[in-house]
């Protein structure tokens, strides 16, 4: 596909592409796909892939593809527990790298319950790190781990950031579906604390973090995007959908193009070219 020309207005909400959306492809592929489809930037998920941890290489990619890095996702997932050492080291190195590549936001998951020393001082600790590095740390909403219908309390102090004292929050629709949350109500309650959105969806199936395309689940992300546009929200929307089952030529690009079109349509950016209508 050829890329859609980006046309910016002062209050446009940028729509970026997460490197997790092209898995098992690489960070390099993320930049290439994002440019070809017309995304406004990328989110880099820090993983075992060396480029995802190398600010020099990331700056080179940013300049080569002329796309900003809108956010860095710290390696605070279960699958990245071996990346960058201890919990606080993961957060500090992610913020240091974000500052080097001029990414304004770092996404982190809340502490796991077994990380008690980290969890005890999490809110105050991330405030200190934000001040040290000049970036925003946005804590992502998660969901309960249920075994035989019971919440196993995987996160401390909780998987839901809405009632907690975090200054900045990332909202993920797939996680909200797993938790049985109502995204629009939660986003309205968060108000100005909402700084970042992972655009996806989920059916609400127990213990299934599906990362469906927006509109394929029960979270009504369209209503949330319209709300954000109407309230002059100034954060970023990042496509974080699963394309792992894409097989045919161009299928992944079609899914990601459809996600971008969905975002722009409901953020009132329909005046820009629609990437799903472009000839291959």
- pLDDT, tens only, 125-137: 999 999 999 999 9
pLDDT at 269: 53
Is the pLDDT higher at 115 or at 263?
263
pLDDT at 10: 38
pLDDT at 5: 43
- pLDDT, tens only, 181-193: 999 999 999 999 9
Is the pLDDT higher at 232 or at 37?
37
- pLDDT, tens only, 60-109: 999 999 999 999 999 998 778 888 989 999 999 999 999 999 999 999 99
pLDDT at 148: 61
**3-state secondary structure string, the chain?**
CCCCCCCCCCCCCCEEEEHHHHCCCCHHHHHHHHHHHCCCEEEEECCCCHHHHCHHHHHHHHHHHCCCEEEEECCCCHHHCCCCCCHHHHHHHHHHHHHHCCCCEEEECCCECCCHHHHHCHHHHHHHHHHHHCCEEEEECCCCCEECCEECCCECCCCCCCCCCCCCEEEEHHHHHHHCCCHHHHHHHHHHHEEEEEECECCCCCCCCCCECCCCCCCCHHHHHHHHHHCCCCCEEEECCCCCCCCCCCHHHHHHHHHHHHHHHHCCCCCCCCHHHCCC
- How is domain 15-269 classified at the CATH fold level? TIM Barrel (3.20.20)
pLDDT at 209: 84
Q: Band the pLDDT of 3: cuts 50, 70, 90.
A: very low
pLDDT at 78: 79
What ranges do the domains of the chain cover? 15-269
């Amino acid at each position: 596909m050829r890329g859609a020309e980006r046309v910016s207005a002062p209050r446009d909400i940028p729509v970026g592409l997460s490197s997790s959306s092209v898995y098992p492809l690489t960070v390099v592929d993320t930049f290439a796909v994002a440019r070809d489809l017309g995304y406004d930037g990328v989110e880099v998920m820090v993983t075992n892939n060396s480029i995802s941890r190398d600010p020099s290489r990331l700056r080179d990619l940013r300049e080569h593809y002329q796309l900003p890095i809108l956010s860095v996702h710290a390696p605070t997932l279960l699958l990245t527990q071996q990346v960058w050492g201890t919990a606080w080291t993961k957060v500090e190195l992610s913020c240091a790298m974000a500052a080097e590549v001029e990414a304004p936001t770092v996404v982190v998951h809340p502490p796991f319950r077994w990380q008690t020393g980290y969890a005890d001082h999490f809110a105050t600790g991330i405030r200190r790190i934000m001040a040290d590095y000049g970036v925003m740390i946005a804590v992502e909403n998660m969901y309960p781990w249920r075994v035989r219908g019971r919440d196993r309390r995987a996160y401390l102090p909780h998987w839901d950031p809405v009632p907690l004292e975090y200054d900045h929050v990332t909202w993920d629709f797939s996680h909200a579906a797993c938790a049985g949350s109502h995204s629009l109500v939660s986003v309205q309650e968060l108000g100005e604390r909402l700084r970042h959105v992972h655009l996806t969806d989920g059916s609400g199936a127990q213990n299934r973090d599906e990362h469906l395309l927006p509109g394929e689940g029960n979270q009504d992300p369209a209503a949330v995007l319209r709300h954000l546009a109407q309230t002059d929200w100034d954060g970023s929307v990042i496509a974080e959908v699963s394309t792992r089952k894409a097989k045919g030529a161009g299928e992944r690009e079609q899914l990601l193009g459809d996600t971008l079109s969905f975002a722009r349509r409901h953020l009132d950016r329909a005046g820009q070219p629609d990437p799903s209508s472009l000839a291959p």
